A and B are shown apart, each in its own frame.
Chain A
Amino acid sequence: MIETRNLVKRFGPFTAVAGVSFKVERGEVLGFLGPNGAGKSTTMKMITGFLTPTEGTAIVCGHDVTSDALAVKEKVGYLPEGAPAYPDMTPAGFLRFIAEVRGIPAEKRKARIDEVAAMVHLEGVMHQSIETLSKGYKRRVGLAQAVLHDPDVLIMDEPTDGLDPNQKHEVRALIQSMAARKAIILSTHILEEVDAVCTRAIVINRGSIVADGTPDQLRSRSRYYNAVAITIAAVSQPGAVRDEIARLPGVDEVEDAGSASGRASFTVIPKRGRTVVEEVSRHARAKGWAVDELRVEGGRLDEVFRTITAGGGGGAR
């Protein structure tokens, strides 16, 4: 439902987005990851028709954004970064305005506004001016605005930025509840969010896609994927134990994960594409070590993120 074809955006000599192509289908929740200034927002602004691409185009529900931006805007619900809204208006007035502009028939307007307000829990503040609302409520007003016309495509720039953990949870639950019926793109730099809501993640760095896959696929790129965390009690010489594990055939490296006073904790990193948990546990049993904990790690998204975007950052948003 969303397709970008070699999207490029240059601001003078600076290239913010350097040829981004991907597709998002109904039912998918695509997480946009990347350091600040990587080009996430700029890409979204091009898909939503706010910025004109320097090259390439985006097709949303069959409409080309460079030739028929108005049709695209009708199909898309968009939450810009920071959830801007008119501060003098009340949420009720603001949503009524959006409903009018979106062409929701007058007789359905009130019912739809009430429905969406209930969905994002705005009921208590509908008649209070937006400038007096807390950040969490402002964000909800922005969300309500984006989903008011029940769009097929939903694009959200950092929807949970600056919210408290409860609010984040609510917003994520809301996104999940809509996920099956829509194609959703959201940008974030909170990695746990990718696990919580996204079916797929794209990592952008310096304007280009550097990784594209499900959260699990991304995680498998981590050196910690299938690593074994082991804690052994009553160890007199942690160094010797560590060397011993490191000599096992499947092991690439052993990291010290905080050994102290007779306890040794290591992270055993396997050679690429291998699993070592069996090997390690067999060896521990053979040696009669008092194993307190033995756990297989699923890989660390933050580590993957850092590895593939290292040296990035900087630049304009």
Chain B
Amino acid sequence: MSITRKYLAVARVNYFTSVNYLVNVASRGLVVALRVWIFAQLYRATYNLSGEESIGGLTLPMVIWGLMLTQSFQSATRPPVARLIEDEVKSGTLAYSLNKPVFYPLFHCAGYLGRILPNILFNLAVGGLAALILVGPINWTVGGFILGLWLLFFGYILDFLIFFIIGLLSFWIEDISAFIWIYSKAQLVLGGLILPISLFPEAIRKVAELTPFTQLYYGAARLMVQFDLPTFFRFFSVQLFWLLVFGLTAWFVFRKGLKQVAINGG
């Protein structure tokens, strides 16, 4: 079996496992729709109070569609890869996983991407319907959509790398929950999941856009609702930087972790 087909098979198995529990997929989608509803009421009140048509370059429909997208993208990644790795370490099945004829990080990456697909499709369908009913449509562009997908793909790889590194910490630390929480909250604060980065005060916005958290899902969502090429190049260059940093870190931590596992007898 070629290498690509091997990891595609892993992705396919995880896709069908995810689809098998439709109640779980549906519940995530419905929670996204509920959040869109909450945001619509919250931001409608704020825009009415401000009396302005657009704030930070975004109209109310753009804000709501943007939040729907970031929530849909982020919600699709559950359960976190870090928890799966932690469970493998605690149960000892890590020994079997490492002995398989697959490269462990790629194995988990393929599984991660396979699990995301049904969730993201349902989230976007239900969340999109909610946004359409609550605030109406916005002007989509082909360029924004395609380049947004490009940023989203690499955003997911970046998210995987960060969660993978956190998961590998379980090779050394008994309980990695604190790290998962801190990362999740960093996503919430700087990932545009509650407050779009464009609405941040200028000084904070400039710093936020340089962090990896903004380049997970917000960059893609922002580009899809309001496309401009310079923003794409700016976001992608920051994304590439963090992909390099976390990619190298993941490689280094994984190699170190393998030695740790070998010392303890596997």
Is B truly associated with A? no
Chain A residues with a Cβ under 8 A of chain B: none
Chain B residues with a Cβ under 8 A of chain A: none
